[in-house]
Amino acid sequence: MQAPITIGTVLQNRYRIIQILGQGGFGRTYLAEDQRRFNELCAIKELIPIAAGAGAWEKAQELFQREATILYQIEHLQVPKFRERFEQDHRLFLVEDYVAGKTYRALLVEKQSVGQTFSEPDVLQLMRSLLPVLEHIHSRGIIHRDISPENIILRDSDRLPVLIDFGVVKELATRLQAPDTNINVTSVGKLGYSPSEQMQTGRAYPSSDLYALAVTAIVLLTGKEPSELFDETQLTWNWQRFVRVSPQFAQVINRMLHPLPSDRYQSAAEVIQALQFVEQSGVPTPPEVSNFQTIAVGRRPDAVLPQPSNRPDPVIPPRRSTSVLDNPLALGAIGSAVVILAGVGSWALVSSIRSQSNTQPDNTPPAPQTFPSPVISGGTTFGTPINTEPTITSRRLRLGASNTATVENSLKAGQIIEYTFFGQAGANLTTLLEQGTGIALTVLDPNRQVIDSSAQQVSSYTGILPSNGRYTVQLTLAPGVSESDYNLKVALENPLPPSPTETPTPTFTPTFPPAFTPTPTPTLTPTFPPAFTPTPTITFTPRFPDPNNNPPVDSTIQPTPELQNTP
């Protein structure tokens, strides 16, 4: 099997891998950003063919294209939209919408942690929401084949259940692993949830999906696995001993669980009609499985009801009556008085009616009757239901290329609005309510917990995201405020990690030498020798006469003029 794709890799110059959502024998599922659709999140499924050889690869490509065409035919709000298929680096990929929310398996675990399971109204609502989806895909000849709590997500945006991971994808992966086989591989399914005809004979019908939906329902009701509810010796489902539901609802579930496909409901429309009868019957849901608080009618909550006793009723001995009724004369007098009073009363009534018929009729409409508030008992509401729970509206926040978004809207009393977005660990989040009197925001992390103590019921928040995942900005209205407009701004500054092939460049801080102090140049004072004093003239007079009788020569030595001032 090929290694997983590295986080940060961009496929088809479009899909940037963010994280691995899951991995199994059929392949892997990645969470990615579609860079051509404003970084919208999507899910990419990688199908891994095992068979080797050029012929096997060509056969795998042919099956891949044919089965992807089947997925493309599914068009329903509660089914992730299939976007495209592509091949890259000898790998096969399917791209579909990403569904943000929790699976019903995760929701069941949360309820079990506080000692609860799903109630009958909860499961009824789930089935009413999913049956139209099954009716849609069955009308196109597609069988899901893998319905279970793990493959149903309660979507955050609209709180609707979404059906994911169609078995056709697993069937495609199985065929890709052995493209040349002629074996029917529709037996793909989850053990305990899929019926025997699907797991043993490889045949799947619309009633096969209805069977799996019924198993999902009883798992959510009881909190137990199918292996704990199915008696293998008797080949029967024994789920009703773990939970109390209305007989009509139990009858619908048991028919969906029938071992013979011909004895089940044959279409999702038939189950929808049967559930409508369950709702119209008005059978109260037992308090043990109700989400509503039971309120006693006409009695204090702390009143003690008398307990039944198995002892025989006491025998009261007869006693002699001393009543006037025992006297025949008194009894006759009382009877005569009653007859007289009845006659007088009848005359008065007739006279009153005649007097009213002679008067003009009063056209004033009667005063409206005032009815008491409805009383909720045992999960059944009589009268107009009172909804004290706030309505939660969840919307995906579209961050543009600059990773900022501005939302203008209004918030009413009894309403909570949530804006969700995907954030990376280390990113800097800034949220601000510029308008909105009486509105406060709370930032929730991917686990639906307050991200920080300073991010609850505030008008602005700035902080670092601790992990990758989908974050929520929740807006609530203060008590006593009926409605308020708001202007919400959200900015996300993602961290910029260094490239794995490059060494981070350190920040250069220049170091300057100490200030240069020049050495002063001394002033040159030339030194001249003292003034030249010429040598005095020396007159030389020879002592001997010239033999030629020449006159005496003047021997005075005169200094050279140009040398007089030379040192």
pLDDT digits (tens, 9 = 90+) for 388-427: 567 888 888 888 777 888 888 888 888 889 888 888 888 8
267-271, 278-282, 491-495, 498-502: segment of lowest average pLDDT: 498-502
Half-sphere exposure of 254 (CA within 13 A, CB side): 13
Indicate the pTM of the whole model: 0.50
Q: If pLDDT is split at 50, 70 and 90, which confidence band does 233 have?
A: confident
Domain assignment present for residue 536? The answer is no
Average pLDDT over residues 241-267: 95
Q: Are residues 106 and 90 in the same domain?
A: no
Q: Which of 146, 156, 209, 445 is catalytic?
A: 146
Domain assignment present for residue 138? The answer is yes
99 and 164 in contact (C-beta within 8 Å)?
yes
52-56, 211-215, 238-242, 362-366: segment of lowest average pLDDT: 362-366
The CATH code of the domain that includes 486 is 2.60.120.380
**What CA–CA distance (Å, rounded) separates 342 from 348?**
10
Domain assignment present for residue 241? The answer is yes
Q: Are residues 159 and 203 in the same domain?
A: yes
The CATH code of the domain that includes 190 is 1.10.510.10
Domain assignment present for residue 564? The answer is no
Of 544 and 75, the one with more pLDDT: 75
Average pLDDT over residues 5-15: 95
Q: Are residues 192 and 282 in the same domain?
A: yes
Average pLDDT over residues 484-512: 66
> Would the pLDDT of 149 be above 80?
yes
Of 289, 314, 336, the one marking the end of a domain is 289
* Per-residue confidence (pLDDT) for residue 345, from 0 to 100: 64
* Per-residue confidence (pLDDT) for residue 236, from 0 to 100: 92
Q: Are residues 147 and 250 in the same domain?
A: yes
Q: Are residues 61 and 107 in the same domain?
A: no
Encode pLDDT of 130-143 as tens digits.
Answer: 999 999 999 988 88
Q: Are residues 88 and 111 in the same domain?
A: no
Domain assignment present for residue 397? The answer is yes
* Per-residue confidence (pLDDT) for residue 531, from 0 to 100: 55
Domain assignment present for residue 159? The answer is yes
* C-alpha angle 358-361-363 in degrees, rounded to nearest 5: 175
Q: What is the domain extent for residue 205? A: 101-289
Half-sphere exposure of 397 (CA within 13 A, CB side): 25
Give every CB contact of residue 328 below 8 A, 6+ residues apart in sequence.
Answer: none
**What CA–CA distance (Å, rounded) separates 449 from 451?**
6
- Of the ranges 33-42, 61-70, 88-97, 506-515, which is most confident? 33-42
**What CA–CA distance (Å, rounded) separates 234 from 255?**
17
Q: Are residues 111 and 89 in the same domain?
A: no
* Per-residue confidence (pLDDT) for residue 97, from 0 to 100: 93
**Number of domains comprising the chain:** 3
> Would the pLDDT of 202 be above 60?
yes
* Per-residue confidence (pLDDT) for residue 172, from 0 to 100: 56
CA pseudo-torsion sign 106, 423, 37, 160 = positive
> Would the pLDDT of 285 be above 80?
no
Neighbours of 225 (CB within 10 A): 11
Average pLDDT over residues 180-209: 75
Domain assignment present for residue 367? The answer is no
Q: Are residues 278 and 229 in the same domain?
A: yes
Q: If pLDDT is split at 50, 70 and 90, which confidence band does 378 have?
A: very low
Can you state the angle between helices 206-222 and 104-112, rounded to 10 degrees? Answer: 20
Place of tokens 């059978």: 283
Of 271, 289, 307, the one marking the end of a domain is 289
Of 240, 256, 289, the one marking the end of a domain is 289
Q: Are residues 168 and 24 in the same domain?
A: no
Q: If pLDDT is split at 50, 70 and 90, which confidence band does 286 have?
A: very low
> Would the pLDDT of 484 be above 80?
yes
Q: Are residues 122 and 60 in the same domain?
A: no
* Per-residue confidence (pLDDT) for residue 338, from 0 to 100: 62
Q: Are residues 90 and 192 in the same domain?
A: no
Encode pLDDT of 64-76 as tens digits.
Answer: 777 777 778 888 9
> Would the pLDDT of 187 be above 90?
no
Q: If pLDDT is split at 50, 70 and 90, which confidence band does 163 have?
A: very high
> Would the pLDDT of 159 be above 60?
yes
> Would the pLDDT of 148 be above 80?
yes
Active site residue 209: no
* Per-residue confidence (pLDDT) for residue 151, from 0 to 100: 92
**Please, what is the average pLDDT of the chain?**
75
**What CA–CA distance (Å, rounded) separates 273 from 250?**
15
Neighbours of 151 (CB within 10 A): 21
Q: If pLDDT is split at 50, 70 and 90, which confidence band does 310 have?
A: very low
* Per-residue confidence (pLDDT) for residue 266, from 0 to 100: 95
As a whole-number percent, the residues of the chain with pLDDT over 70 amount to: 61
Q: If pLDDT is split at 50, 70 and 90, which confidence band does 325 have?
A: very low
Q: Are residues 60 and 208 in the same domain?
A: no
Residue 349 carries which side chain, given as an amino acid letter?
A: L
